[in-house]
Amino acid sequence: MSTLKSMTDEELVVLYAEGNNAAFDVLLNRYKSSIHSYIYFIVRNKELTEDIFQETFMKVIMTIRQGRYTENGKFKAWITRIAHNLVIDNFRQERGENLISNDEVEGDLFNNIKLCDDTIEDHLIRHQVLSDVKNLVKHLPDSQREVLEMRYYKDLSFKEIADLTGVSINTALGRMRYAIMNMRRMAEENNIELSMA
């Protein structure tokens, strides 16, 4: 096992593809913490994190066993991309039918998640953008911040938001629109880049 630990990811993948299960154990131990943390950072739910984590490694196992792994030298980026895509798939399944379009606003900050090849740099950029967005949200007027947080952090519909805040659906939608416009303005004034592309 100690000799396996000194091997590269690619050497371990080859050994595992040849039937050496201990090689996969080393790969799993090498990346389980960072992949688990990556998933949890996005979904913020322990149970969902576990499910996506398990599914990620099942896909890794299947791909290697079927001889379809081709990402030479990029194992960590590849496994992170699998986790990322599964998070996106879950996000789409959960919210797909509940999204309300805000076509009147050019480009939606929150519904414009683009699939990309994840590298460490991509992860750092995403982390910075999410941090910047949270800071901008703090500076919104209370009524706008309340609607935005209920919609995107608590996943409530605009009807539920209207009922809870005692306003009409149109007022709730209007507050959301102004929240996004204000965040864009603040981002421009402070030279903050909100694109993850």
Does residue 150 belong to any structural domain of this protein? yes
- Spatial distance between the Cα atoms of 176 and 33, rounded to a whole number of angstroms: 37
- Spatial distance between the Cα atoms of 178 and 96, rounded to a whole number of angstroms: 24
Residue 91: how many other CB atoms lie within 10 Å: 13
Does residue 108 belong to any structural domain of this protein? no
Supply the pLDDT for residue 106.
46
Helix H or strand E segment including 42: helix 21-43
Last residue of a domain, one of 27, 62, 95: 95
Supply the pLDDT for residue 125.
61
Does residue 114 belong to any structural domain of this protein? no
Does residue 112 belong to any structural domain of this protein? no
In sign, the C-alpha dihedral spanning 8, 12, 13, 14 is: positive
Q: What region does 178 belong to: left with phi over 0, alpha with psi -120 to 50, or beta?
A: alpha
Supply the pLDDT for residue 109.
45
Same domain, 80 and 161: no
Total-model pTM: 0.50
Q: What is the CATH number of the domain that holds 53?
A: 1.10.1740.10
Judge residue 164's burial from the number of C-beta atoms within 10 Å of its C-beta, 0-12 exposed, 13-18 middle, 19 or more buried.
middle
Does residue 101 belong to any structural domain of this protein? no
Residue 160: how many other CB atoms lie within 10 Å: 15
**pLDDT averaged per 10 residues, the chain (length 197):** 86 91 91 90 89 91 86 86 87 62 46 49 62 77 86 81 87 85 79 59
Same domain, 15 and 81: yes
Question: Taking the C-alpha atoms of 140, 142, 147 and 148 in order, what is their torsion angle to the nearest 10 degrees?
Answer: 30
Does residue 55 belong to any structural domain of this protein? yes
Same domain, 65 and 19: yes
Does residue 102 belong to any structural domain of this protein? no
Supply the pLDDT for residue 1.
62
Last residue of a domain, one of 95, 112, 132: 95
Does residue 111 belong to any structural domain of this protein? no
Same domain, 88 and 160: no
Whether the Cβ atoms of residue 163 and residue 170 lie closer than 8 Å to each other: no
For the chain, helix (H) and strand (E) counts, in that order, are 9, 0
Supply the pLDDT for residue 126.
65
Q: If we measure between CA atoms, which residue out of 120, 122, 152, 116 comes closest to residue 134?
A: 152
- Spatial distance between the Cα atoms of 14 and 111, rounded to a whole number of angstroms: 39
Same domain, 58 and 137: no
Please give the backbone phi and psi of residue 135, each rounded to the nearest 5 degrees, phi first: -65, -40
Which range of residues forms the domain containing residue 154? 120-189
Total number of domains in the chain: 2
Supply the pLDDT for residue 12.
93
